[in-house]
Amino acid sequence: MKNSTHYRLRALACALLASAAMLGACDDDDPNDDPDPGKKPPVTPTDQIQYDGGDLVGIKSAIYVAEEDGSHTFYLSPTEGLINAEQMKQADDYLRVMVESPKGTVNTASDPFEIEYKDISVKKTTMNDVASVELSADLVTETRLNLYTYVELKSGKTLIARYQNTCTEERDVELTNQYEIDNRIAAVGSVVEWRNVREGNRRFCLYEQEGLAAPEEGAAGVEILLAEELFGTEEIDLATADPAKVQIRCGEFATGAGTTGTLTAKYLTDKFGTIEGLIVALDASKDGKRLRAAYEGTFAGGYAATNTIKVTEPAAGGEAAAAAEAPIAALFSQEPQVGSYVFALGDAETAAAPADLAKGHWAAYVRVLAAKFDGVIDVAAQTSDYWFRLYDHKTYQTYYGEDAGLTGTIETHPNPAGGKEIYPQIKRHRGRSRILRCADGCDGRRNG
**pLDDT score for 438:** 55
Q: Is the pLDDT of residue 290 over 70?
A: yes
Q: How many CB atoms lie within 10 A of CB 223?
A: 18
Sheet containing strand 236-237, edge to edge, reads 184-187, 178-181, 289-297, 275-286, 260-269, 236-237
pLDDT at 306 over 90: no
**Residue range 296-317: average pLDDT?**
78
Picking from 85, 57, 248, the residue whose alpha carbon sits closest to that of residue 163 is: 57
| Cα–Cα distance, 85 to 97 (Å, whole number) | 12
Q: Is a pLDDT exceeding 90 seen at residue 440?
A: no
Residue 445, pLDDT score? 34
Integer Cα distance of 323 and 276 in angstroms: 41
Whether the pLDDT of residue 447 is over 90: the answer is: no
Position 66 pLDDT exceeds 70: yes
Q: Are 405 and 427 in contact (CB under 8 A)?
A: no
Characterize the bridge pairing of strands 190-196 and 300-303. parallel
**Mean pLDDT computed over 140-151:** 97
pLDDT at 19 over 60: no
Given a cut of 70, is residue 98 above it in pLDDT? yes
* pLDDT tens by residue, 241-284: 999 999 999 999 999 999 999 999 999 988 887 888 999 999 99
**Average pLDDT of the residues in 321-337:** 73
The span from the CA of 259 to the CA of 238, in Å, is 6
Report which residue type is found at 217: E
The residue ranking higher by pLDDT, 37 or 282, is 282
Average pLDDT, the chain: 84
Which of 144-153, 261-270, 389-398 shows the lowest mean pLDDT across its residues?
Answer: 389-398
Strand ranges, E, within 208-274: 221-227, 236-237, 246-250, 253-254, 260-269
Residue 55 reports pLDDT greater than 60: yes
pLDDT of residue 107: 95
pLDDT in tens, 191-240: 999 988 778 899 999 999 999 998 999 999 999 999 999 999 999 999 99
Q: Looking at residue 448, what is its pLDDT?
A: 27
Average pLDDT of the segment spanning 323-330: 76
Span 105-121, mean pLDDT?
95
Look at residue 33 and tell me whether its pLDDT is greater than 80.
no
Q: What is the pLDDT of residue 1?
A: 46
